[in-house]
């Protein structure tokens, strides 16, 4: 999955625009682009940023092969000088990004690119697909993990994922969001996400009796035994046969770490009855795993009903984020440099006010209450603005001055970190376990009201007064454009 040359994985218009930039000399201009999203999946209170590691690998390997150039020449659309330029193409710009696992909110710059026009344009497609896919899955996984209230959640979605890469990378994103492991073996091999599993119904059906299937499995995998008990009749045969196999094969070896899996029927009722049967048999440490089209709402309801479940295996509704399958990240020009090196802000205007962009080269601050450590607000500022935490800080609300927020006794953190400088990677990529731990810590810093599944409290994000003034001026200027 790593070290692949995906330079040609771009929308074709990136190449036609780049050819035009080359012919017009714009390829020498430094440009500033932002990656951001407009709405949170599932109507949630926040999203989880993910996908940066793959973007770093992609940018490191950017180059056009001779075969790529010959293919483009065959289109009879591209200037020979442009094709020659592509022979030596590499990324020479700067990239700033929010670390993976960070809770993020609409319109905040997750990634900012400062690079010559062609370089910035050509990387758009991959940046968006990496951020959109992994942020979507990580966000969904985090919702499901929070619904499980401390119980283990495993990602079981490979067979329903939308392609091989979606299965492997999706399992990685699910781990960032808080899943403890995956059913996808390749994700374990490539990214170290612990892979595991139980058995399929076909294993049970292969034997003459259910008990024989269970006994054989216990003998083969005594330290990794989870028996699927719903092939025939969960309570009449499945659980009793599992109890018998555990007692005859595992307990004599002193093994008490085993479990059963429920994959159909009324999971709440069956788990409670199975728990009673297991406890009465003295198997109080036996775990109960549940699967079968689960999501955060079903898990929440199961627990509200008193279901006796220790582990949830979640498949298609996680790996595809079925209830809200599009993240909606976009890549928009925010500024260009003129011949004097001055940064000239740019804005996109729309009759749909949600699609009006925030101009200029920006930075993103998050403010925390010093005593509780909870996140109070985010502020999008101009690139050269600094915040003095020793003084009260006013977050200006241009739409309603009565909502102006004054912060005292707070700390501030710039969310974006330098990733590339002059084409060289300057960011030490954390391990996946470090990203997962960071994500959990950052989500914990959010107020519970922001983490509600329905009607969450809207987290406070606004523009600095200086940035709002720039935006307002540009909006006024666009009124006179013909």
Lowest mean pLDDT among 2-6, 110-114, 119-123, 281-285: 2-6
Instruction: Report which of 378, 351, 348 is spatially closest to residue 364, judged by C-alpha positions.
Output: 378
Start-end of H helices in 47-123? 52-60, 66-74, 80-87, 117-122
- State the Cα–Cα distance between residues 148 and 435, nearest whole angstrom: 20
- Asked whether residue 174 carries a pLDDT value surpassing 80, the answer given is yes
pLDDT of residue 157 exceeding 90, the answer is yes
Q: If you search the block for the tokens 């969904």, which residue do you land on? A: 140
pLDDT score of 452 more than 80: yes
Q: In 367-390, which positions are buried (b, 16+ CB within 10 angstroms) versus exposed (e)?
A: bbbeeeeebbbbbbbbeeeebeee
> What is the mean predicted confidence (pLDDT) over 217-224?
97
* C-alpha to C-alpha distance for 103 and 29, rounded to whole angstroms: 33
CA distances from 354 to 50, 425, 461 (A): 23, 34, 14
> Average pLDDT in the 335-352 region?
95
Cβ-proximal residues to 279 (8 Å cutoff; 6+ apart), any chain: none
* 252: CB partners within 8 A, 6+ apart: none
User: In the predicted model, what is the mean pLDDT of the chain?
Assistant: 96
For residue 404, pLDDT beyond 90: no
How many beta carbons lie within 10 A of that of residue 303, not counting itself?
A: 17
Which residue is it, tokens 């804005």?
A: 347
How many helices and strands (H and E) does the chain possess?
Answer: 16, 21
For residues 443-452, give the mean pLDDT: 98
Q: Is the pLDDT of residue 293 over 80?
A: yes
pLDDT score of 1 more than 60? no
Residue 400 has pLDDT above 70, yes or no: no
What stretch of H or E contains 420?
A: strand 417-421
In Å, the largest CA–CA distance within the chain is 85
For helices 124-147 and 296-304, angle between their N-to-C axes, nearest 10 degrees? 10
Q: Residue 4's pLDDT band (boundaries 50, 70, 90)?
A: confident
Mean pLDDT, to the nearest integer, of 449-478? Answer: 95
DSSP secondary structure string, 21-49?
A: HHHHTGGGSEEEEEEEESS-GGG-S-EE-
Domains of the chain (ranges plus CATH)?
A: 12-137+325-356+417-457 (3.20.140.10), 197-292 (3.20.20.70)
Report the DSSP pairing between strands 375-382 and 461-463.
Answer: parallel
pLDDT for 468 beyond 90: yes
66-76 confidence digits (pLDDT tens)? 999 999 999 99
Q: Is 422 left (phi over 0), alpha (psi -120 to 50) or beta?
A: left
pLDDT value at residue 482: 65
Reported as half-sphere exposure (CB side, CA atoms, 13 A), residue 374 has a value of 11
Residue 403 has pLDDT above 80, yes or no: no
Q: How far apart are CA 19 and CA 23, in angstroms?
A: 6
Mean pLDDT of 364-384: 97
By C-alpha distance, which of 217, 222, 224, 165 is closest to 194? 224
How far is it, in rounded angstroms, from Cα 31 to Cα 359?
A: 12
Q: What is the pTM of this model?
A: 0.96
- DSSP codes of every residue in 180-200: -EES-HHHHHHH-PPB-----
């Amino acid at each position: 999955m790593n070290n692949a040359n995906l330079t040609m994985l771009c929308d074709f218009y990136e190449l036609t625009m780049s050819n035009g930039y080359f012919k017009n000399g714009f390829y020498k201009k430094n440009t500033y682009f932002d990656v951001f999203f407009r709405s949170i999946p599932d109507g949630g209170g926040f999203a989880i940023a993910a996908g940066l590691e793959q973007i770093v690998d992609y940018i490191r390997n950017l180059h056009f092969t001779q075969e790529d150039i010959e293919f483009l020449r065959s289109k009879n659309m591209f200037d020979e000088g442009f094709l020659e330029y592509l022979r030596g193409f590499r990324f020479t710009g700067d990239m700033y990004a929010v670390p993976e696992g960070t809770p993020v909110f609409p319109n905040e710059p997750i990634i900012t690119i400062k690079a010559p026009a062609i370089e910035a344009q050509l990387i758009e497609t991959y940046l968006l697909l990496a951020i959109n896919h992994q942020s979507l899955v990580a966000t969904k996984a985090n919702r499901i993990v929070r619904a499980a209230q401390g119980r283990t959640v495993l990602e079981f979605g490979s067979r329903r994922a939308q392609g091989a890469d979606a299965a492997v990378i999706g399992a990685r994103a699910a781990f960032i969001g808080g899943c403890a492991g995956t059913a996808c073996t390749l994700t374990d091999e490539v990214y170290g996400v612990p892979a595991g599993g139980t058995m399929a119904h076909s294993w049970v059906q292969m034997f003459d009796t259910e008990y024989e299937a269970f006994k054989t499995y216990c003998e083969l995998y005594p330290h990794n035994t989870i028996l699927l008990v719903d092939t025939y009749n969960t309570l009449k045969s499945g659980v009793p046969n599992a109890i018998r196999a555990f007692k005859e094969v595992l307990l004599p070896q002193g093994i008490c770490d085993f479990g059963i899996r429920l994959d159909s029927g009324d999971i709440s009722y069956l788990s409670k009855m199975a728990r009673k049967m297991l406890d009465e048999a003295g198997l109080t440490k036996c775990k109960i795993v549940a699967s079968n089209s689960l999501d955060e709402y079903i898990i929440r309801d199961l627990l509200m009903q008193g279901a006796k479940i220790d582990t949830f295996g979640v498949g298609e509704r996680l790996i595809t984020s079925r209830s809200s399958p599009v993240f909606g990240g976009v890549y928009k020009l925010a500024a260009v440099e003129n011949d004097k090196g001055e940064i000239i802000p740019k804005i996109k205007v729309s009759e749909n006010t949600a699609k009006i962009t925030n101009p200029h080269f920006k930075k993103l601050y998050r403010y925390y209450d010093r005593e509780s450590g909870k996140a109070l607000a985010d502020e999008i500022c101009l690139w050269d603005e600094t915040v003095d935490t020793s003084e009260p800080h006013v977050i200006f609300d241009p739409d309603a001055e009565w909502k102006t927020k004054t912060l005292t006794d707070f700390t501030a953190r710039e969310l974006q970190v330098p990733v590339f400088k002059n084409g060289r990677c300057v960011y030490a990529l954390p391990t996946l376990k470090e990203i997962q731990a960071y994500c959990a810590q950052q989500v914990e810093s959010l107020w519970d009201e922001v983490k509600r599944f329905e009607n969450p409290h809207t987290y406070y994000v606004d523009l600095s007064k200086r940035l709002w003034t720039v935006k307002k001026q540009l909006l006024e200027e666009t009124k006179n454009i013909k």
